[in-house]
Amino acid sequence: MRFLFVPALLICAGISHAQTLKSLAQSRGIYVGAAASGVTNATYDTTLNREFNGIVCENAMKFGSIMTGENAFSYSGADAIVNFGVARGMYVRGHNFIWHKQMPGWFSGTTYVPSRDSTFRMMKKYINNVMAHYRGKINEWDIVNEAVARDSSGMRLGSGYSDASQNSKWAALTDAPNHNFDYIDSAFAYARRADSNVLLIYNDYDCEGMGKKSNYVYNIVAGLKNKGLVDGIGLQCHFYVGPSTSGSNGAWVPAEMVSNFQRLAALGLRISLTEVDMRIQTNPAPDSALLAKQREGYKTLMGICLAQPACKAFFTWGVNDSQSWIPGAFSGYGQALLFDNTSANGVYNRKAVYYGVQEALTATSIWGHKTNLKIIADDHQSHRFDLRGRLVTALPYNPIFVTKKTVNPK
Ligand code: XIL
C-alpha cells in the first residue's frame, strides 16, 4: 500500500528523494535528531547520518551508565555516540543529569544516604566531571529530567528512595519539600558554572499541552529563567495515537500545544521536542485508518514546531522500530518511529509517518499559521547570561551553517 502511495505523493508535493529530513530541516533552521542506542550497526549508522542532523544517547549518558562509583566515571559508551555526532557536525543533546530513574547501584536503594550537604557536594562533582569531559561537544543538556510526578499530583516529593511515581531520591536526600525544591536550582547552577557555553534544559513528559502537569512545569522553568539558570524546555512527546485522543497517558491535543508553546516562548525559552515517538497498538495489527492517523500526527507535530520560532529541535526517541523502547515499556504497542526494520541500499525503509514529517517540512503553513519563518541563522546564544548577569559569548559553531564544530582541546 505504502509503496504505491508514496511515489504519487512525492510527485504531487514536488519532493525529491534526495531531500532527506536532514536537508529539509537545515533549510528550515531546525535540528531533526534521533536517540542512538549505539553506533555499531552499519544500516543504523547510515540511516542516522543520512537523515538526521542531531543525536542524543538513549541510555549511555545517564547517571547509572556514566558514574559507576562515587569517584568513578565510565565514558566509553557515550563517547562513541557523541563523537559520531561531532564528527558529522550534528547538534548534540546531552541526556541527562538529575533523574529519579536509571541511577547507579551505589547510589540507589537505602545503603547510600548522605546528608543534604553531602548530596549537594556529590551532585556538583557529578555535574562538573561530566560537563568538563564533554565541553565543546554538546549543544544542549537536560539538567533535570521529570521532576514532576507522573499522575500530575505535583512535584516528586521524595517520600522514598525508589523510582515509583511520586518519588525522586534526589528530592528525598535534599529534603526538597522543606527547601523549595532547591535541588533543581542547584543542579542548574552547578551546570551553568561548569560550562557557561552550553544550553541548559529542563525536560519532562505529559506537559506538552495545557493542564495541571504542564502548569507545574511552566512554573519550574519560569522560576529558573528568572534566575538566569535555564535556556530551554525539553518536551518529550511520547505520544499515543489511537481511536480516541483523550486519556491520561500520552494524550495530546494539537491546539493546546500551540498555546503552551506560545507561553513558553514568551518566557524567552527555546523549545526542544526531545523524545518524539507515536505508539500505536500493534496487536491486532494496525489498519490503514490508524496508520493514516499516525502519519497525520507526526505531520501535525512537526508543523506545530515549525510554526513556533522558538521550537528548534525535533528529536525522535530512536531511529527504527526494532530498537524502540516502546514494545518493552508499553505491552502491545509499538511501530512508533519513522523507519521500519526492513532496509534497502543500506538504509532502513521510510514509513508513512516519515512522509508526514517530510510534508510538514515542505509546507508553508499549518492552520493558517505560517511555518516558513525560520530560514534565519539560529540566534540561540544571544540572550544568555551567566550567574553574574554577563552576556554569555556565542559558541563558535553552528552545526547547520558551519560544517564542523570547534572542539576545545582537553
Ligand atoms: C528509556 C530508554 O529508551 C530505555 O531503553 C530504558 O530502558 C528506559 O529509558 N523518558 C526519558 C528517557 O527521559 O530517558 C527514557 O528512555 C524514556 C522516557
Which residues make Cβ contacts (< 8 Å) with residue 69, sequence separation at least 6? 104, 106
Q: Tell me: the pLDDT tens digits for 106-124?
A: 999 999 999 999 999 999 9
The active-site residue, picked from 51, 208, 275, 359, is: 275
pLDDT of residue 373: 65
Q: What is the distance in A from the centroid of ligand 1 to the CA of 58?
A: 7
Over range 181-203, report the average pLDDT. 95
CA-angle at 73, arms to 69 and 78, nearest 5°: 130
Q: Where are the alpha helices (DSSP H) in 179-211?
A: 182-194
The residue ranking higher by pLDDT, 204 or 158, is 204
Chain position carrying cell 526492513: 342
Does residue 233 contact residue 272 with C-beta atoms inside 8 Å? Answer: yes
Ligand 1 contact via 325 beta carbon (within 6 Å) = yes
Over range 251-258, report the average pLDDT. 86
Task: Ligand 1, residue 203: give the atom nearest the CA.
Answer: 13
Distances (CA, A) of 64 to 1, 67, 83, 196: 43, 6, 20, 25
pLDDT of residue 368: 76
Residue % of the chain over a pLDDT of 90? 74
Q: Considering only CA atoms, which of 97, 198, 195 is closest in space to residue 143?
A: 97
Q: pLDDT band at residue 179, thresholds of 50, 70 and 90?
A: very high
pLDDT of residue 370: 81
pLDDT over 70 (residue 175)? yes
The active-site residue, picked from 51, 146, 208, 359, is: 146
**Which residue, by CA, sits nearest to atom 16 of ligand 1?**
58
pLDDT of residue 308: 93
pLDDT over 70 (residue 376)? no
Q: Please state the φ and ψ torsions of residue 121, each to the nearest 5 degrees.
A: -60, -45
Rounded Cα gap, residues 40 and 33, in angstroms: 18
Q: pLDDT band at residue 409, thresholds of 50, 70 and 90?
A: very low
Q: pLDDT band at residue 262, thresholds of 50, 70 and 90?
A: very high
Over range 76-95, report the average pLDDT. 97
**Which residue, by CA, sits nearest to atom 12 of ligand 1?**
58
Ligand 1 contact via 145 beta carbon (within 6 Å) = yes
Task: Ligand 1, residue 274: give the atom nearest the CA.
Answer: 13
Rounded Cα gap, residues 315 and 357, in angstroms: 12
The residue ranking higher by pLDDT, 364 or 24, is 24
Specify whether the backbone of 383 is left (phi greater than 0), alpha (psi in -120 to 50) or beta. Answer: alpha
Distance from the first to the final alpha carbon of the chain = 53
Q: What is the distance in A from the centroid of ligand 1 to the CA of 8?
A: 37
Over range 270-295, report the average pLDDT. 95
Over range 378-383, report the average pLDDT. 54
- Of the candidate ranges 16-20, 115-119, 135-139, the one whose mean pLDDT is the lowest: 16-20
Does residue 146 carry a catalytic annotation?
A: yes
Rounded Cα gap, residues 297 and 222, in angstroms: 29
pLDDT of residue 317: 98
Query: Alpha-carbon dihedral of residues 235, 240, 241, 242, nearest 10 degrees?
Result: -150
Q: Considering only CA atoms, which of 237, 39, 57 is closest in space to residue 130?
A: 57
Specify whether the backbone of 250 is left (phi greater than 0), alpha (psi in -120 to 50) or beta. Answer: left
Ligand 1 contact via 59 beta carbon (within 6 Å) = yes
**Cβ of 261: how many Cβ atoms within 10 Å?**
24
Averaged confidence pLDDT in the chain: 87
Ligand 1 contact via 236 beta carbon (within 6 Å) = yes
Ligand 1 contact via 190 beta carbon (within 6 Å) = no
SS3 content of the chain, % helix, strand, coil (to 5): 35, 20, 45
Ligand 1 contact via 58 beta carbon (within 6 Å) = yes
pLDDT of residue 301: 95
Chain CA centroid to CA 325, Å: 15
Ligand 1 contact via 324 beta carbon (within 6 Å) = no
pLDDT of residue 410: 32
DSSP 331: T
pLDDT over 80 (residue 188)? yes
pLDDT over 60 (residue 402)? no
Over range 131-141, report the average pLDDT. 96
Residue to mutate, 59, 63, 238, ligand 1, most ligand atoms under 8 Å from C-beta:
59
The residue ranking higher by pLDDT, 394 or 281, is 281
pLDDT over 70 (residue 256)? yes
Q: Tell me: the pLDDT tens digits for 205-254?
A: 999 999 889 999 999 999 999 999 999 999 999 999 987 655 444 568 89
Q: pLDDT band at residue 369, thresholds of 50, 70 and 90?
A: confident
pLDDT of residue 243: 77
Residue to mutate, 101, 148, 168, ligand 1, most ligand atoms under 8 Å from C-beta:
101
**Cβ of 185: how many Cβ atoms within 10 Å?**
18
Residue to mutate, 63, 317, 320, 326, ligand 1, most ligand atoms under 8 Å from C-beta:
317
Over range 57-64, report the average pLDDT. 98
Ligand 1 contact via 362 beta carbon (within 6 Å) = no
Q: What is the distance in A from the centroid of ligand 1 to the CA of 26?
A: 27
Q: Dihedral sign, CA of 263, 247, 243, 336?
A: positive
Q: pLDDT band at residue 12, thresholds of 50, 70 and 90?
A: very low
pLDDT of residue 387: 66
Q: What is the distance in A from the centroid of ligand 1 to the CA of 386?
A: 31
Q: What is the distance in A from the centroid of ligand 1 to the CA of 6?
A: 32
Task: Ligand 1, residue 318: give the atom nearest the CA.
Answer: 3
Rounded Cα gap, residues 297 and 278, in angstroms: 8
Burial per residue of 64-81, b for 16 or more beta-carbon CB atoms within 10 angstroms, e otherwise? bbbbeeeeeeebebbbeb
Does residue 235 contact residue 271 with C-beta atoms inside 8 Å? Answer: yes
Q: pLDDT band at residue 321, thresholds of 50, 70 and 90?
A: very high
**Which residue, by CA, sits nearest to atom 3 of ligand 1?**
325
Task: Ligand 1, residue 145: give the atom nearest the CA.
Answer: 13
